[in-house]
Structure 1
Amino acid sequence: MEIMDFQLISKLILNIFLLMFIFCSIRIFYSVWWKPKSLEKYFRRIGVAGSSYRLFSGDLKEAKKLMSEAAAKPMTLSHDIVPRVQPYWDRMVREHGKISGSWHGTTAQVVVADAAIIRQILNARDGSFQKVPRNPLVKLLTLGVSTLEGRRWETRRKLVSPAFHHDKLLGMIPTFLTSCSNLVERLTNKIEGSSGNLELDIAPEMHRLASDIIARAAFGVSFEEAETIFKLQKEQAALVLDAASTVYFPGSRFLPTKRNRRMYEIDRAIKAKLRDMILEKERKIGNGEMGGDEDLLSLLLKSQKQSGNDMTIDDVMEECKLFYFAGQETTANWLMWTMIVLSMHPQWQEKAREEVLHVFGKKIPDVKTLNQLKIVSMILQEVLRLYPSVPITVRHTHEAIKIRDKIIPPGVNLVLPTLLLHHNPVYWGEDAEEFKPDRFAEGVSKAGKDHDELAFYPFGWGPRICLGQNFAVMEAKLALTMILQNFVFELSPSYTHAPRAVLTLQPQYGAPLILRKL
């Protein structure tokens, strides 16, 4: 009897395991083959051409191969950078059209290189287009307001927005000027120690400037006090890029790989530094040493303590991580590319300098007069067109969405290639690859070939447009003005023109320039 009971139990357990195996096998087969192939057939049926699905990896291997081939050789001093920076998306659009399909692992992607449709997607307010669901390793970089959706996003954006109001920005001007003055003094000392001509990689200097501004304006500390966080965030960004370019399998974040261990170590170290900073800020607010809303961190802490607010200290830290990374990286790259481009076009550098000296002379810039710098503004906009800090944006369909005459099902990534749009002759004319700041002479809305079709999205668009846009513009204007007031610069003979996308648009071999004191 006992033997029979044991046999029955064994058979039951075996049957359960067999059913579980069959169920899991069906789920896996559906996820990695049936669903992607069904979507591929659907796309063809509605007229979306593109690549064929490959098991597990999709187009990741092909995209990596094209990127490696492009990165293997530099380019001439040209602004025709799309084939080098985004070779895969460039080929997709050229071969399959403005709306075409591809695969990120098992996830379907539709690249949309049409300005009107991109505007429709970015303008949507009903939650139909959302941020792409990210694997847990990618989330370690930042989980701030830019990653939230729905009610949580609305609430958080309302809490953070006041930090970027015009009156707050005006209050930050002394901080901006302090950081810019420190840059000028630092570069001047280096030039005086090098017999008048200084050759240096300007990229680290621009990153230090942007970092110093962020540290002071957003958190009330100096660059030196926040330097560790910046370095850790930079390392984390490189690891996140690696994680994002590989297929993620559920649970793989728990594997004790070298990359996983380092990513979690960095996350703990950054949070420990931020926690110390938060405790010190709370102490100062509690002791009446500051008003409580003098910088971004103070404002967040004040909001966090309001009744009816579900914001936690962890949420505050994520907003800090977001602002540290996004605010520093994008503006630093913008200024760096501006100096590179003005070195490639010295006639425009001289025009900008003449304007700056006419308006301000050698005096510290007055923010109220900053709007008189028309040429400087045109140059900064044209650099953003040719070298946008964030060359691509991705959205995710939360439900079935109609785009023109095509119904895109839920669960599809929509790739919006800002860089391709900014270089497209359809929107900018046959001289789209040329540096022509005067195309922005009448403002952004009239800059393109067709004034009715805006194709300029360096800060995004619609309800989720970058919160820090005005902060970045004011910072870039002031910094470029003071650089032009004090220095003349040109490309170093060692400069190699090789833009590439590493989360943001960066020079592969650095940005060595030769500087002289004016």
Structure 2
Amino acid sequence: MPPPGVLFLLGVLPPISLAAIAVYVTTHLLRSYFEIYVPAAVSILTFLLLYPSYKAAAIAWDVHSQKREAAAMGAVEVPLWEAKWPGGLDLLLLIAKKIENGYPGEVFNWPLQHVGQIFRFRAFWVNQIFTSDPEHMKTILAIDFNKFEKGKWFTETLSAMLGTGVLNSDGEMWKFHRTMTRPFFTRDRTSHFDIFERHSDEAILQMTTRLNEDCAIDFQDVIWRFTLDSATEFLFGSCVHSLSDGLPYPHFHPKSKSASSDNDNRSLSFASALEEAMYVVSRRARIGPIWPLLEIFNDKSRRSMKVIERFLDPIIRHALERKRLMVGDGEGREKSGEIGDDETLLDHLVKSTEDMSILKDEVINMMIAGRDTTATTLTYAFYFLALHPHVLERLRGEILANVGHSRRPTFDDIREMKYLRAVINETLRLFPPVPFNLRTSINATTLPALKPGAKPFYIPALTNVTYSVFTMHRRTDLWGPDAQEFDPDRFIDSRLNKYLTPNPAIFQPFSIGPRICLGQQFAYNEASFMLVRLLQRFDGITLDSAAQPPDSRPPPEWVLAEGRQAKEQVWPKSHITMYSHKGLWLRLRAASRENEP
């Protein structure tokens, strides 16, 4: 297939060609029938102005039509974040720069404060809407679910990695994927702790080995590997064994260069290819509709996707072969819909389809959803425990009181530990795994007004609406004056009934409505299990700023910023999901019975 840039240019060729033909035909007719000779310079200038003039007229008509449609619907247009340059180019460049080099959501602080909790800006003269209002999210994701979809732009931008999987599809294809996967996420499946135990033991062994060398560890790297190994075994019974590769050394350590060389030799491995592909497709989404122009000569996602496909193809083919053997042996499980104890999610999926493309897309989608949610949560949970020793001490006390120093926790143990759940929820509040998401309106519709008695907001047809759970979770008017602070007690004390109970939509780490995350309980169980096992083994957590690569430390000017940004000691970023830029480097202290509470 040609590179994306070539396809993009081929797509814009027809209207440009029509403009050229129109100019040629007109000048020919003028010369032939009226003996009017048009100078070449005039013809060229006319050609250069014809298409832009047509677009300008079309844009002006759209603006006029939308104003009339909004009035007819008894609605008002969303307030405008005004640009200074044509096509909103200044805002697009600012957004791209801040997403790459700033704090999450920082670029939207000014319009949120001066324009409102919902605003629009025009990117290449097309409306883009942003909201951080819970009622808008509830409308988009639940109440008016059928009026919004992922949309053509979103799905095409991420299709190189996500294909038509459950995270990147609409309509009947989404329903098909959802129906396929839902039966597998029962309590028995999501609380199957044998997988968690195997990989948590391996992770702790690797961490202990590195700590015994008096080295800090990149905790994020450990957790990415732990969740990847757990997810691959859960999904298709074939673990990628990323933990067995050994952990990286700090950037200044003598062995860091040799370790980097080893990683370079394995750069085409499944784990690193997955990260590379996520970065590429998320970068495309940030750049916007013109991203193919930056990939004229090559598809930057193709290299990593080939590695992913080489890993997945034999696994999927093996699952299909197992299914055929079962049918040949006369087993009726695939007909009855029964899920066997030894059956993986992939085994279950092949009962519904044998289409390799659909199976591959769904496995990749489920792997990202199952891995990144837990990885983000555990990474930032340990970040907060390092910053708040009193929370660590209290959480360890609850764990030791309920489970002890070495016993494996059960589902009932985890359910009883209220403070453990509060720590996880507070981490999810401040650092939700998917900080920004998008839906596209199918037809013209409205979103609720921000004030009682006011007119609703008009949303034109086929308009992208970005909504930010990250921003909403930090709003002081929704969560109280201390919304920017990490305090797990807000999910236990009187603030729970004051803020969250009367308005549950203000907390959406796993989305809401028909597309709510199927793996929500799996993520809670995995994060809880790993936190218990780690805090049984370690009783002290500190950040190691020296081990943190210099170019990944928060920029000095952040101390002048508002809210949490001024006090962060790592650099939060996001591609499809959130992560800590170049890792979270920690030192952990092995627990001693003498230091127990």
Give how far 1:141 is off: 1.8
SS of the residue 2:301 aligns to: helix
CA apart distance, 1:161: 0.8
- Residue 464 of structure 1 deviates from its aligned partner by 0.6
Q: Describe how 1:100-111 pairs up with structure 2 within 5 A.
A: 100-111=119-130
Deviation at 1:26, TM superposition (A): 6.1
Asked whether 1:304 is paired with 2:353, we answer: yes
CA distance in 2, matches of 1:193, 1:13: 75
How far 1:285 moved relative to its partner? Answer: 4.2
Distance in 1 of aligned mates of 2:145 and 2:510: 20
Per the alignment, do residues 278 and 316 of structure 1 end up closer, same or farther by CA in structure 2, a change over 3 Å counting?
same
In structure 2, the residue matched to 1:359 is: 402
Counterpart position of 1:15:
25
Equivalent position of 2:361 in the other structure = 318
Could you tell me which of 107, 113, 116 is aligned with 1:97? 116
1:411, CA displacement in angstroms? 1.5
Q: Distance in 2 between matches of 1:272 and 1:408?
A: 43
Residue 265 (structure 1) aligns with: 303
In 2, distance between residues paired with 1:158 and 1:457? 23
Residue 452 (structure 1) shift: 3.5
For the structure 1 residues 215 and 67, does the alpha-carbon distance in structure 2 shift closer, same or farther, using more than 3 Å as the test?
closer
Tell me the distance in 1 between the aligned counterparts of 2:129 and 2:487: 32
Q: CA 1:346 to 1:445, structure 2 compared with 1: closer, same or farther past 3 Å?
A: closer
Contact 2:96–2:287 (Cα < 8 Å) also in 1: no
1:381 is matched with 425
What are structure 2's unaligned runs of at least 5 residues? 1-20, 30-46, 244-267, 449-455, 554-568, 592-597
Matched residue, 2:40 = none
Deviation sequence 1:177-205 (CA, Å, 0-9, x none) = 111121122222333343xxx41111100
Among candidates 38, 45, 49, match of residue 79 of structure 2: 49
Question: For 2:372, which of 329, 349, 355 is the aligned residue?
Answer: 329
**Residue identity opposite 2:104 in structure 1:** V
1:414 match? 465
One-letter identity of the residue aligned with 1:203: Q
Trace 1:133-144 onto structure 2 (pairs within 5 A): 133-134=152-153, 136-143=156-163, 144=165
Contact 1:427/1:450, CA 8 A, preserved across alignment: no
Q: What CA distance in whole angstroms lies between the structure 2 residues aligned with 1:27 and 1:298?
A: 54
DSSP 3-state at the match of 1:430 = coil
In 1, the alpha carbon distance for the partners of 2:200 and 2:460 equals 49
Cα deviation, residue 151, structure 1: 2.3
The alpha-carbon distance between structure 1 residues 247 and 110, as it changes in their structure 2 partners (threshold 3 A), is: closer
Q: TM-score scaled by structure 2?
A: 0.73
> RMSD of the alignment, in Å?
3.3
1:517 aligns with 2:558: no
Partner SS, residue 573 of structure 2: strand
Q: Does 1:459 align with 2:478?
A: no
The 1:34–1:287 alpha-carbon spacing in structure 2 relative to 1, beyond 3 Å, is same
Q: 1:351 Cα shift?
A: 0.6
Q: Percent identity at matched positions?
A: 23
SS in 1 for 2:269: helix
Following the alignment from structure 1 to structure 2, what is the Cα–Cα distance between the partners of residues 123 and 430? 28
Query: 1:486 matched to which residue of 2?
Result: 537
Q: CA, structure 1 residues 345+413, in 2 after alignment: closer, same or farther (shift >3 Å)? A: same
Offset, 1:506? 2.0
Does the 8 Å CA contact 1:334/1:383 hold for their aligned counterparts?
yes
Unaligned runs of 5+ in 1: 1-10, 72-83, 306-311
Distance change >3 Å, CA 56–CA 516, structure 1 → 2: same
Residue 178 of structure 2 is aligned to residue 157 of structure 1: yes
Aligned to 2:562: none
Distance 1:207 1:269 in 2: 18
Go from structure 1 to structure 2 and tell me whether the alpha carbon gap of 1:249 and 1:262 turns closer, same or farther (over 3 Å shift). closer
Shift of 1:473: 0.9
Which moved further from structure 2: 160-169 or 116-125?
Answer: 116-125
Change (3 A) 1:250 1:439: closer
Larger radius of gyration: 2
1:31-430 mapped onto 2 (5 Å cutoff): 35=62, 46-52=76-82, 54-56=85-87, 58=89, 59-67=91-99, 71=102, 84-124=103-143, 126-134=145-153, 136-143=156-163, 144-170=165-191, 172-194=192-214, 198-224=215-241, 228-249=269-290, 256-257=296-297, 260-287=298-325, 293=339, 294-305=343-354, 312-361=355-404, 362-404=406-448, 405-430=456-481
**Count of residues paired in the alignment:** 482
Q: Secondary structure at the match of 1:302?
A: coil
The answer to which of 351-360 and 178-187 deviates more is 178-187
* Segment of structure 1 superposing worse, 223-232 or 449-458: 223-232
In 1, the alpha carbon distance for the partners of 2:193 and 2:99 equals: 41
Match of 1:470 in 2: 521
SS in 1 for 2:79: coil
> Within 2, Cα distance between the matches of 1:443 and 1:314?
50
